Amino acid sequence: MKQGRDVQVYAIAPETKVLRSRTWERLKFEIEYGLCRGTTANSFLLEGDKIAVIDPPGESFTEIYISALAERIDLDKIHYLILGHVNPNRAVTINQLLQKAPQVTIIASNTGAKSLQEIFQHSYPDTIASKPLKIIPVKNDYSLDLGKGHQLILFPTPNPRYPDELLTYDTKTQILYTDKLFGAHVCGEQVLDEGWQVYQEDRRYYFDCVIAPCATQVSKALEKIQNFPATIYAPAHGPLVKYGLRELVHLYRQWLANQQSQGLNVALIYASAYGNTAQIASAIARGITKAGVRVESINAEYASDEEIKTAIAQCDGFIFGSPTLGGHAPSQIQKALGIALTTAERNKLVGVFGSYGWSGEAIDLLESKLKDGGYRFGFETIRVKFKPTEAVLKTCEEAGTDFAQALRKYKKSLKAKDTGIEETTTARAAQALGRIVGSLCIVTTTRGDLKGAMVASWVSQASFNPPGITVAVAKERAIESLLPIGAHFVLNILEEGKHIDLMKHFLKPFAPGEDRFSGVDWEAGGNGCPILKSALAYLECEVKNRLECGDHWVLYAVAHRGKVLSESGITAVHHRKSGAHY
């Protein structure tokens, strides 16, 4: 794997280049970077009679990007800087560019224009003191003529995560610059998506982390972009979409429909001053959605009172997240909390999270108000000081999964109480399915400081050459996000008569972030993953493929090495009477 960072420049259409700021390392600890495959930050240079730059990268690439841009164009000849979205990270590059090209006019959505003004007033007062920002705010469809046939159409597609999102369409090249839509955090030499199926896991993971909690708004955005026939989708991250364009749009529609059809729904209401609370919200949302529960993400800073009231009324549970600013929660969060307390039924499950610098009064306020209101909590309140680490975000993801599982059980108990009976599974097919037996195993894995483990009995040999196995992993398992394609794990096969203690240990409920291996005798295998010393045998495996199967992922893995630890032992087997549960 390459190291370091660079900028790859490639002509993708007449007078159109992409500048791909690349790193093969994990750029951030945000949940959407969890596959650890690097990233690209795609920026675009359009050279008509007037010159426009679309989507400069964030501060991780500021210096090398501006240097690469200056090698291709005189910076003082740039007319427009078009922003698909605005954040403090990207503002670092914008500020540096304005120092060298003060003549530039910035084009952003109306919301993005306001955010950029606030960021510069707070972080770069000297820049705007010498020369005020020239910004064109876009409220509705906006047309921009660059000459040489490049007629651009810009239109907002806001969602809670990116309320300022602005898409751009070039009528000459039929390239649609999609910002966060259709992206993926992956780094490589490919500019376009030849062999597009290779990137399907990366795009699906990005969708699950970033897009799924905004399903309602993104569905509307997909309807909007159908008005602009495109030959290439140019997202902010990952390969540009050309060869798999129709298929990817179909998959997005399929994934969005699946989100919107979920029976249970959680309203995730938050505000984020510096992005830390938003990162936590994303991790919690990821945990909830992977457990088969829909999330409706609501940014209280931009949502109307009616939107919040409707979301609270329609949800089965709701979660509040807030930063602490000056010892208080932002006014928008306080107002949203008031709406919830006066309108939400008391049988809804709730949760609270937040980030803070020196004190966490906002989190305490939310927790105490909901407790006083008589609500039941789906997870322990999450308090994160400063910027969340990878381990903290993994804990938040697990808390989201716990919330979804608790919500499902809670709603089931309420239904049983209402009907006076408990649901039972008596289907003959389920009884027959339960007669399929499997060996009892413990899957163990590690990534950096993170370790995971789960009991597995849906395991089977799948190939002779190479020696391969399949193992089914429920989507809601904490370990699932640690097992993408390319990940390593150990399949510890348990011995009959010696499996009870290990089974009890790994089947017990673990708190989010709790060490699964405390009190267990293990050693690191050749691939770094835990080998349980009391196992019958083990296989050191690498995930080669993943197949989505309803509420499980089926992993195909190749066994690189293995060993029998007890020559006289026999494999422990799981016998079930029903195929409706483990």
Q: Quick: pLDDT tens for 79-99.
A: 999 999 999 999 999 999 999
- Within a 10 A sphere around the Cβ of 393, how many other Cβ atoms? 23
Give this prediction's pTM. 0.89
pLDDT band with cut points at 50, 70 and 90 for residue 427: low
How much is the mean pLDDT over the chain? 93
pLDDT on residue 434: 83
* pLDDT over 70 (residue 416): no
Q: Write down all domains in the chain, each with its CATH number in brackets.
A: 5-258 (3.60.15.10), 265-419 (3.40.50.360), 428-574 (2.30.110.10)
Report the pLDDT value the prediction gives residue 423, as an integer from 0 to 100.
Answer: 46
Q: What is the mean pLDDT of residues 250-265?
A: 94
The H or E element spanning position 322 is strand 317-323
**Res 318: pLDDT:** 98
pLDDT at 359: 80
pLDDT (tens digit per residue) in 305-336: 999 999 999 999 999 999 998 889 999 999 99
Residue-wise pLDDT tens digits, 191-230 = 999 999 999 999 999 999 999 999 999 999 999 999 999 9
Q: Is the pLDDT of residue 147 over 60?
A: yes
Q: How confident is the model at residue 417 (pLDDT cuts 50, 70, 90)?
A: low
Task: Give the contacts of 409 (CB within 8 A, at least 6 positions apart).
Answer: none
| pLDDT bucket at 580, cuts 50 / 70 / 90 | confident
Q: If residue 129 lies in a helix (H) or strand (E), which one and from where to where? A: helix 125-130
Convert 294-319 into a string of H (helix), E (strand) and C (coil): EEEEEECCCCCHHHHHHHHHHCCEEE
- Residue 576: pLDDT band (50, 70, 90) is confident
Answer whether residue 1 shows pLDDT above 80.
Answer: no
Tens-place pLDDT, residues 516-532: 999 999 999 999 999 99
In DSSP notation, 388-447 reads --HHHHHHHHHHHHHHHHHHHHHHHHHHHHHHTS------HHHHHHTT--EE-EEEEEEE
3-state secondary structure of 572: coil
* Residue 441: strand pairing partners: 456, 493
Average pLDDT over residues 251-266: 94
Task: Identify the pLDDT of residue 111.
Answer: 95
Percent of the chain scoring above 70 in pLDDT: 97
Percent of the chain at pLDDT exceeding 90: 85
pLDDT (0 to 100) of residue 418: 52
Over residues 343-366, mean pLDDT:
92
Question: Would you state the pLDDT for residue 275?
Answer: 86
